[in-house]
Amino acid sequence: MRKPIVAGNWKMNKHIGEAQELAAGVAEGTNGFDDVEVVVGPTAICLAPVAAVIEGSNLGLAAQNMHWADSGAYTGEVSPTMIKDAGCDWVILGHSERREYFHESDKDINHKTHVAIEHDLKPIVCIGETLEEREDERTLQKVEFQVRAALAGVNKSDIKNIVIAYEPIWAIGTGKTASPEQAQEVHADIRSMIADIYGQEAADAIRILYGGSVKPHNIAEIIAQPDVDGALVGGASLEVDSFVSIAETVNSKQ
């Protein structure tokens, strides 16, 4: 049985005090949710302050990005050892905003995925198609390419610690959600591709999250899909009530 995950990507939102307040509220609201892993993803500057307030809770802590080097002349970057030191056990990699605005390539994301594994950080690797690609019926081709590229050279034994987040770009922050059937089709395709590369055991173990305008009102039908193992949540992770409500629904998935 795969334990579902609800991860919040706070993006470039919340100052330190606000981030601590939100994290404390989420920790309290999800206390006792034993059937879901709940993860919060503040900005880099808020990681350590948030770690301090969630200590002792069940919440996981994710950075939204990291560099691949441990240290060096990379002005403005944050290293894997630094995010670990700040308290992270997770790292979001290859979010579509990083790919689009900061020109992260599939090669960069593959490099960072390897580095995350080496540092015992669990990567949440984001992939997804544009609206144009969906309309051209190139969705599966695109996501298969991105998953293969991100996982190139990754050992079978590490697959269980990697999370894939399928995030159709046209559904991020737009209020448009993929239908449960659209999400299931892509998730099942990714899982069967993992089975082809790594075998059925790895495919059964890897967790595949859906992301794209997930809200309290639509999470139930999304999580009901057999290959959806949770959600990566943007906007709705910025309020305690909406995020806890999403986590609660996932926690009660049969």
Q: Catalytic positions, please?
A: 95, 167
Binding track over 159-188 against ligand PEP, x by CB under 6 A: --------x----xx---------------
Decide: is 94 part of the binding site for ligand PEP (CB under 6 A): no
Count of residues touching ligand PEP (by CB under 6 A): 13
Least Å distance, CB 202 to ligand PEP, is 25
185-224 residues in contact with ligand PEP (CB under 6 A) are 211-214
Query: 213 labelled as ligand-binding?
Result: yes
Pick from 4, 5, 6, 9 the residue near ligand PEP by CB under 6 A.
9
Q: Which of 206, 207, 235 is nearest to 8 (CA)?
A: 235
Pick from 38, 162, 232, 250 the residue near ligand PEP by CB under 6 A.
232
Q: Which residues contact 244 (CB under 8 A, 6 or more apart)?
A: 25, 26, 29, 30
Q: Which of 217, 236, 228, 241 is nearest to 8 (CA)?
A: 236
- Interface contacts to ligand PEP, rule CB under 6 A: 9, 167, 172-173, 211-214, 232-236
Q: What residues are designated binding site?
A: 9-11, 173, 213, 234-235
